[in-house]
């Protein structure tokens, strides 16, 4: 995406998610950032729900990882950028993993495709054996 | 460990979720509720989520599980008070709340349960049609 290069970071926080209780404080931190840039309630809810899905995947499939919570700007637009980085098994077939209903965890397979629908920018990189990194942005007015 | 209280109201069980659920708490609620339905032979379960700001696929699935298990035990499940932003988000996420009835608030949820359940409570069933199944 061409816009990514013009994005400036205004604030940056690192939080680890290694146990299921870590998800709630993480979500709260995401909410604080969203409120700070006056994101509307529906967009906040979408962002936090996406964050919850991606944090949960990290816990479930990679036994945890690190998140980066940033307030970013591209001129007039402010947004929240979240990075989920794990050193888990990685995903062999990304296009398959992004399909609705695909799950290796006997689940609904909604997390990745659903999270993508809930945010404005979604980027996933994965290397089998090395890990997975997901980056999402929700713009305040997105 | 923290627990979510379950209240018995006549033939129904009422749960008001006031805290942000993390997974283990949600799972223990699921187990407790099903136990309690079995023990009390409750005819309906009302889950008030008006204070819940996030329902992700995990929690959605928990509601579905509760409804499914309660159904086997002959009890209906109604989720009430879902915030509009949560409802919009769930639809975009693509999560079907299969088997879960929804209603606007506890009172309407009670009416809905009463109408679904075959018990003799004074008939007051001019049910509003603002409930549905998503
Ligand atoms: N961080 C990760 N590391 C390794 N594999 C992952 C990771 N995230 C997702 N996956 C893989 O991608 C698949 C799809 O993920 P997705 O979140 O869409 O569905 P799910 O987690 O299986 O089900 P749901 O999220 O609906 O409960 C997972 O089943 C898993 O195989
Ligand atoms: Mg998932």
pLDDT in tens, A86-97: 999 999 999 999
Pick A6 or B44 by higher pLDDT.
B44
Give the span between the Cα atoms of B59 and A40, in whole angstroms.
23
As a whole number of Å, the CA-based R_g of chain A is 14
- pLDDT tens per residue, range B66-106: 999 999 999 999 999 999 999 999 999 998 787 899 999 99
Q: Residue B100: CB partners within 8 Å, gap ≥ 6? A: B63, B64, B67, B77, B78, B79, B133, B134
> Looking at CA atoms only, how far is residue A101 from chain B in angstroms?
10
Q: Which residue ranges make up each domain of chain A?
A: 8-139
Please report the atom of ligand 1 found closest to the CA of residue A114: 18
pLDDT at B98: 79
CA A36 to chain centre: 18
Rounded percentage of chain B residues whose pLDDT exceeds 90: 68
As a whole number of Å, the CA-based R_g of chain B is 14
ipTM: 0.89
The average confidence (pLDDT) of chain B is: 87
Predicted structure pTM score? 0.89
Of all residues in chain A, the one with the smallest CA distance to B84 is A42
Residues of B in contact with A100 (CB under 8 A): 94
pLDDT at B19: 83
Structural domains in chain B plus CATH codes: 6-133 (3.30.750.24)
For residue B123, name the pLDDT band (cuts at 50, 70, 90): very low
Q: Is the pLDDT of residue B26 over 60?
A: yes
Average pLDDT over residues B109-114: 94
Pick A67 or A6 by higher pLDDT.
A67
Distance B117 CA to ligand 2 centre (A): 36
- Beta-carbon separation of A49 and B94 below 8 A: no
Q: Touching check for A90 and chain B: CB below 8 Å?
A: no
Give the span between the Cα atoms of B63 and B48, in whole angstroms.
11
Average pLDDT over residues A1-9: 70
pLDDT at B122: 47
Let me know: does A131 contact A88? Beta carbons within 8 Å. Answer: yes
Rounded percentage of chain A residues whose pLDDT exceeds 70: 96
Q: Touching check for B71 and chain A: CB below 8 Å?
A: no
Q: Residue A123: CB partners within 8 Å, gap ≥ 6? A: A1, A134, A135, A136
Architecture of domain A8-139: 2-Layer Sandwich (3.30)
pLDDT at A120: 97
For residue A3, name the pLDDT band (cuts at 50, 70, 90): low
Q: Is the pLDDT of residue A123 over 80?
A: yes
Pairing of β B76-80 and β B44-48? parallel
- Beta-carbon separation of A45 and B92 below 8 A: no
Pick B134 or A64 by higher pLDDT.
A64
Lining ligand 1 with CB less than 6 A are: A 53, 57-58, 61-62, 86, 88-91, 97, 102-105, 107-113, 132; B 57
- pLDDT tens per residue, range B58-67: 899 999 999 9
For residue A5, name the pLDDT band (cuts at 50, 70, 90): low
């Amino acid at each position: 995406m061409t816009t990514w290069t013009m994005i400036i970071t205004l604030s940056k926080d690192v939080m680890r998610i290694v146990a299921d209780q870590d998800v709630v404080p993480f979500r709260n931190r995401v909410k604080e950032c969203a409120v700070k840039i006056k994101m509307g309630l529906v967009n906040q809810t979408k962002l936090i729900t996406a964050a919850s899905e991606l944090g949960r995947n990290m816990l479930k499939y990679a036994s945890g990882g690190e998140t980066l919570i940033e307030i970013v700007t591209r001129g007039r637009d402010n947004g929240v950028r979240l990075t989920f980085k794990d050193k888990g098994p990685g995903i062999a077939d990304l296009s398959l993993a992004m399909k609705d209903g695909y799950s290796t965890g006997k689940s609904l397979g909604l997390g990745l495709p659903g999270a993508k629908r809930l945010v404005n920018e979604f980027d996933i990189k994965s290397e089998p054996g090395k890990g997975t990194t997901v980056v999402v942005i929700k713009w305040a007015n997105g | 460990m923290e627990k979510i209280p379950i209240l018995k109201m006549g033939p129904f069980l009422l749960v008001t979720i006031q805290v942000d659920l993390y997974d283990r708490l949600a799972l223990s609620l699921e187990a407790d509720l099903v136990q309690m339905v079995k023990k009390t032979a409750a005819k309906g379960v009302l889950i008030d989520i008006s204070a819940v700001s996030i329902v992700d696929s995990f929690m959605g699935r928990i509601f579905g599980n509760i409804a499914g298990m309660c159904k086997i035990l002959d009890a209906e499940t109604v989720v009430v008070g879902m915030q509009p932003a949560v409802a919009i988000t769930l639809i975009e996420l693509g999560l079907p709340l299969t088997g879960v009835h929804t209603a606007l608030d506890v009172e309407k949820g009670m009416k809905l349960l009463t109408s679904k359940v075959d018990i003799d409570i004074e008939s007051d069933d001019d049910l509003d049609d603002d409930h549905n199944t998503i």
